[in-house]
């Protein structure tokens, strides 16, 4: 069987054939064969500082490889089935805005100017996915070992929040997730210091789920950046500059803590 990874849609068609081969033709090795084909070649990437950026078919391969590495499944067969179901339910064609490499480069330059980001938090791969993903504009994951290895996937804008969101602001939000991965060593936990930050702002977080708190943390990072630079757009113009300044001070403190921890 020929495996086509040239786009998310060709990937879905390939998986559809794999599932048919497995379920209808009785090829019990079909899912294993797909896994080995998807992981046989490393995606090519363009380095931007300490980051690696993947586009087109390489971004699709990175998506598949990271899916296998981070999805909690009992085995390769279950994980392949989960990948097929996710694409079946979520991918779509779109002509909405898409981030480009010059924008990524400028965002990362700004992060280094503000926080020495790439010196503190790496390696991270960034993949530009030419498709809409229902329910999300971007996605962050990480693998933990001797260090945190993160990956960000940026899709065509599924929701631009009435014109307020930009591809650059989506990337900033996802970089905020990468920060909490690095600070906590976990995917689903905010730093303990974050609760104090919210209390200092007078924010009531008692009704927020853990997932909500993770999103608020990522947006806190976004607010910190747009407090210092306006070029990436402001999805939250209604939030006062004094609040954004508090967010900047909090995030800067987190990077200072990372710096001292690594000395």
Confidence of residue 263 (pLDDT cuts 50, 70, 90): very low
Tell me what the pLDDT averaged over the chain comes to: 93
Number of domains in the chain: 2
User: Based on the domain organization, do 254 and 124 belong to the same domain?
Assistant: yes
User: Based on the domain organization, do 122 and 178 belong to the same domain?
Assistant: yes
* 65: in domain: yes
pLDDT more than 90, % of the chain? 82
Instruction: Give per-residue pLDDT as tens, 133-151.
Output: 999 999 999 988 777 889 9
CA dist 206 and 209 (Å) reads 8
* 2: in domain: no
Instruction: Give per-residue pLDDT as tens, 243-256.
Output: 999 999 999 999 99
Q: What is the DSSP letter of 51?
A: E
* 1: in domain: no
User: Based on the domain organization, do 49 and 116 belong to the same domain?
Assistant: no
CA dist 60 and 10 (Å) reads 10
Quote the domain boundaries for residue 240.
Answer: 101-262
* Buried-exposed string 176-198: b where 16+ CB fall within 10 A, e elsewhere: bbbbbbbbbeeeebbbeebeebb
Pairing of strands 124-133, 148-156: parallel
């Amino acid at each position: 069987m020929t495996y086509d990874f040239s786009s998310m849609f060709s990937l879905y068609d390939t998986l559809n054939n794999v599932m048919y081969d497995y379920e209808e033709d009785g090829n019990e090795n079909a899912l294993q064969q797909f896994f080995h084909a998807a992981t046989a070649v490393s995606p090519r990437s363009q380095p931007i500082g300490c980051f690696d950026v993947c586009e087109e078919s390489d971004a699709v391969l990175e998506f598949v490889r990271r899916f296998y590495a981070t999805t909690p499944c009992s085995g390769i067969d279950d994980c392949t089935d989960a990948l097929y179901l996710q694409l079946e339910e979520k991918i779509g064609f779109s002509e909405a805005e898409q981030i480009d490499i010059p924008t990524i480069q400028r965002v990362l330059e700004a992060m280094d100017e503000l926080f020495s980001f790439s010196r503190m938090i790496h390696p991270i791969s960034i993949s530009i996915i030419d498709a809409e993903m229902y329910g999300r504009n971007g996605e962050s994951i990480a693998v933990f070992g001797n260090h945190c290895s993160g990956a960000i996937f940026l899709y065509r804008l599924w929701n631009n929040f009435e014109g307020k969101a930009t591809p650059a602001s989506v990337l900033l939000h996802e970089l905020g997730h990468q920060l909490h991965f690095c600070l906590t060593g976990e995917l689903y936990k905010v730093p303990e210091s974050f609760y104090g930050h919210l209390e200092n702002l007078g924010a009531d977080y008692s009704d927020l789920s853990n997932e909500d708190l993770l999103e608020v943390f990522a947006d806190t990072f976004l607010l910190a950046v747009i407090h210092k630079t306006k070029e990436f757009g402001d999805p939250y113009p209604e939030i006062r500059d004094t609040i954004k300044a508090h967010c900047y001070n909090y995030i800067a403190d987190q990077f200072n803590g990372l710096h001292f921890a690594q000395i």
